[in-house]
Amino acid sequence: MKDRSLLMIPGPIEFEPEVLQALGAPTTSHVAPNFIDAFGCALENMRKVWLAPEGQPFIVAGSGTLAMELAGANLIEPGDRALVLSTGVFGDRFEDLLTRHGADVTVLHAPIGEALDLNQVEDALKGGEYKLLTVTHVDTSTAVRMPIRSIGELAQHYNVLSIVDGVCSVAGEEIQQGDWGLDVVLTASQKAIGVPPGLALLVASPRAMEASSARSSSVRSYYADWAKWLPIMTAYEGRKPSYFGTPAVNLVAALDVSLRQIVDEGMSARFARHELLADAFRAAVQSLGMGFVATEPKDQANTLTACRYPNGVAAGDLLPAIKQAGVIVAGGLHPKIKSEYFRVGHMGAVCMGDILATIGAIETGLRSVGHQFEAGIGVATALKWQAEQED
Ligand code: PMP
């Protein structure tokens, strides 16, 4: 029997075998020709995945929080005003981070489970004299998705730089960084990008690069300073070696493989696959008598779902039962509603078979804790949903 559960948390996710093979290959020198080529190709493919032909990609060893720090540290100078749009825990993290870098931060908090109202955002931007705003595309604590295209338009209109935390969205949710005028779109390797944890990734617009070079004070982080990393990215893209900090050689090689797979799938096909699987999953969850933290369909992410426990079912009972049935899902994260919901990631290499296995395990878990429903209804609903889309 295969001694492995299906990992359906919102990152790290299940990875493609070819990606893991690249990760496990013998480590080369960071100036070896094959590594220089892998690094260069990864940078080029980031522009395609982010749909940001003019953007400057950065690949730096670290987690998603470092990607947030790379954006904040380079664009904020002490006293700059920043507007944080928060739809959960990760929005709040930006408040903390930008404050640490000396920003004067205003936060707009959405009610839990809702996206922020665009009129409210526009009212804040009017006369707010903000240098930048941050928006969490999909907040992993609530599974709420923000309409970043409209946020980008507002930011452009009010001449404010926009930073998108796309840790739970890049390569899963539609993002057209270039056309939508977004200044920084950042992520981490372990989610829809499909590479084990350890890489902070971002693409900065020409406007963001100009803003960072026009600073009057030096960047308050040594490791996160774009000026240290830009020559490295430029060199590798020009297929020349360079050094500031030793790159995570195996992770970059794995990233190269994963980005090639993503580009081969095609961005619109990839976005459509995520949408179809998310819709099928949610239809199945609803058929089992559960609701969602994000109540409005337009606010529901395609990369993960936050499912509310049915009445009378407790986290401590259901999650181990789902695990026992072979699938690992994640508990609640938002401190105010932590015990009321669980989270299921469906991004990256996810396929219909994974969705069906997950629904099957949730059904098994629900039955074992005494929840009443028609046996098989969840799996049948997901399959029916898929069939309807194909007709
Ligand atoms: N932003 C979002 C939306 C996230 O989901 C996460 C991680 N779950 C982070 C930022 C932070 O990323 P990391 O844990 O890789 O530092």
Predicted confidence (pLDDT) per residue in 350-390, tens digit: 999 999 999 999 999 999 999 999 999 999 999 999 999 87
State whether the beta carbon of 90 lies less than 6 angstroms from ligand 1. yes
pLDDT of residue 120: 98
Please report whether residue 287 resides in a domain: yes
Query: Model pTM?
Result: 0.97
3-state secondary structure at position 132: strand
Please report whether residue 98 resides in a domain: yes
> CA-CA distances (angstroms) from residue 274 to 233, 259, 266, 267, 381?
30, 16, 12, 11, 17
State whether the beta carbon of 232 lies less than 6 angstroms from ligand 1. no
Same domain? For 199 and 306 the reply is no
Please report whether residue 1 resides in a domain: no
Helix and strand numbers, DSSP H then E, in the chain = 14, 14
Nearest CA to ligand 1 atom 9: 64
Last residue of a domain, one of 231, 265, 299: 265
* 26-80: pLDDT as tens digits: 999 999 999 999 999 999 999 999 999 999 999 999 999 999 999 999 999 999 9
Same domain? For 183 and 167 the reply is yes
Q: How close is the Cα of 287 to the center of ligand 1, in Å?
A: 30
d(CA 91, CA 84): 7
Same domain? For 211 and 331 the reply is no
Last residue of a domain, one of 215, 246, 265: 265
CATH number for 323: 3.90.1150.10
State whether the beta carbon of 188 lies less than 6 angstroms from ligand 1. yes
Given a cut of 80, whether residue 24 has pLDDT beyond it is yes
Please report whether residue 303 resides in a domain: yes
Query: How many domains is the chain partitioned into structurally?
Result: 2
Q: How close is the Cα of 383 to the center of ligand 1, in Å?
A: 32
Q: Tell me the β-bridge partners of 330.
A: 343
State the residue for tokens 């072979």: 326
Q: Which of 65, 67, 99, 61 is nearest to 82 (CA)?
A: 99
CATH number for 24: 3.40.640.10
Same domain? For 342 and 260 the reply is no
State whether the beta carbon of 63 lies less than 6 angstroms from ligand 1. yes
Supply the angle between the helices 377-390 and 267-287 in degrees, to the nearest 10.
140
Nearest CA to ligand 1 atom 2: 167
Whether the Cβ atoms of residue 184 and residue 137 lie closer than 8 Å to each other: no
Same domain? For 250 and 272 the reply is no
Whether the Cβ atoms of residue 52 and residue 203 lie closer than 8 Å to each other: yes
Range of the domain at 272: 6-11+266-390
Quick one: average pLDDT of 275-284? 97
* 72-115: pLDDT as tens digits: 999 999 999 999 999 999 999 999 999 999 999 999 999 999 99
pLDDT of residue 3: 65
Q: Which of 339, 343, 288 is nearest to 315 (CA)?
A: 339
Nearest ligand 1 atom, CA 66: 16
Same domain? For 258 and 126 the reply is yes
Whether the Cβ atoms of residue 300 and residue 171 lie closer than 8 Å to each other: no
Nearest ligand 1 atom, CA 169: 3
337 burial level (CB within 10 Å; 0-12, 13-18, 19+): middle
Q: What percent of the chain has pLDDT over 90?
A: 96
Last residue of a domain, one of 265, 292, 320: 265
Instruction: Kindly give the pairing relationship between strand 161-165 and strand 184-188.
Output: parallel
Q: How close is the Cα of 239 to the center of ligand 1, in Å?
A: 31
